[in-house]
Amino acid sequence: MTAEMTPHGLALHPLRDSLYAELHSRPFQVIGSPARITQIAVVCDEADKQRQFEHLAELCRQFGIDPPVHDDICLQLDFGNFRVRREKHMEFASYTFVNMKVPVGGSPFDVSGISPLPEGWLARLPGSVVAAFHVSVEQGGNQRELMLPLVKRFFEGMRLVGSSPQQGDARVWTTFQLHSDGFGRFLVYNKQMSDSQLGRLVQRLMEIETYRLMALLALPTARRFSPQLAAMDDQLAEVTRALADGGEPVDERALLAQLTDMAARVEACRAESTFRFSATQAYHELVVKRLDELREDEVSGHLTISEFMTRRLTPAVRTCHAIGDRLEDLSRRIDRVADMMRTRVELSIQAQNQQLLASMDRRSRIQLMMQHTVEGLSVAAISYYAVGLVKYLLEALYGSGVEFDKSLVLGISVPVIVGTVWFATRRIHRRFIAMAKNRDIGE
């Protein structure tokens, strides 16, 4: 296939357009004040994301607008009085509902971003909701922003966290808690920010809340692993002490079985937690980055968002990081102790082999001595049968008329026969020894 060319004749990389589009795939929203916004983050897999896209297309058909054709990373749909923005992330999808039809008067949270949605549509959204909160944007000219008792009533009397981001151009109140409707709440007073600046501020606030909840998903896992790791740490210490104590013999097979069981449990924990702990670290870094971008000023008597996250979120993230480090350290220690056990087993096997070889050597020497004894007996036996044969031969000769002294000739033949048999046996024995030596040299 011919590569696409520029007007100047340059060959284009096939990913060039997608690389340019990636930088603009998640643009900041433009939000005016007042506005009511709801953010929902749903943990889901790829199949759920496809069903979510179809569910979103159903919403478009209910409002009589054309549904999107492609399930892009970021979809922005305008329904007239409200907008819907859906973003796909690696393990979750986020929905932002912006309601521009804000009634005059009443509580900032009487109407939310999901108020215009058809009844039952949100309940059928595929996936598990991990973050859900309302953001109420008010124009800062209203003096209610200075009346803290009234603001606290908007948050059902819960302890407030407040700050003045963007060098005092806005005032933000929240509690980082769930309220009676099951949603979190943010109240933003816009003093002198443009719609674009306000959109960026709201986007950062929503990302801080969503990412901090995603970062905390690993905390229950870390707490569940902590007592297991403590027990395995104590067990490993006992195994190490048993190896270090040379006073009593140890059951190396039992100790090696314990180490193998611990190694399997540690690897199971690592397999379950590695991605979650890594994701927690990544989400925490995003939260810290968004907090820096807020450029907060302190509101007298209240924790800022950055201070709250530093005091509450950072210790939880460090706990997850510590458990991950502890898993890695325990795995390395188990490997080292297992290597020590293998070394002990190998030395024990070598000692047993040496004893076996020594025993075999002793048996070989005994067998050699027995062989020499048998060789002596075999010389006597062969000589006896050979003398018998010679006797028959002499009798046959004497019977045929040859005159000689049978007893004298037979007596003379005995030492000759014995010597001949002994010499032949030794030759055969030396020949076999030479063949064995030549084979050992060849090997």
Q: Which residue among 327, 354, 381 closes a domain?
A: 354
For residue 126, is pLDDT > 80? Answer: yes
Question: pLDDT higher for 442 or 236?
Answer: 236
**CA-to-CA distance for 170 and 165, rounded, in angstroms?**
6
The answer on 175 and 32 residing in a single domain is yes
Q: Which residue among 160, 193, 226 closes a domain?
A: 193
The answer on 182 and 36 residing in a single domain is yes
Encode pLDDT of 19-39 as tens digits: 777 777 678 889 988 999 999
The answer on 229 and 346 residing in a single domain is yes
Q: What is the pLDDT of residue 93?
A: 95
DSSP 217-252: GGHHHHHHHHHHHHHHHHHHHHHHHHHH--SS---H
Give residue 439's pLDDT band: very low, low, confident or very high (50, 70, 90).
Answer: low
333: number of CA atoms within 13 Å, CB side? Answer: 18
The answer on 349 and 393 residing in a single domain is no
Encode pLDDT of 281-333 as tens digits: 999 999 999 999 988 888 777 889 999 998 889 999 999 999 999 999 999 98
The answer on 160 and 257 residing in a single domain is no
Q: What is the pLDDT of residue 180?
A: 93
**CA-to-CA distance for 245 and 182, rounded, in angstroms?**
59
Encode pLDDT of 385-418 as tens digits: 887 887 778 778 777 877 777 788 778 888 888 8
The answer on 180 and 87 residing in a single domain is yes
The whole domain housing 99 covers 27-193
pTM exceeds 0.85: no
Please tell me the total count of domains within the chain.
Answer: 3
Q: Is 10 domain-assigned?
A: no
Cα 141 to the center of its chain, rounded Å: 52
For residue 355, is pLDDT > 80? Answer: yes
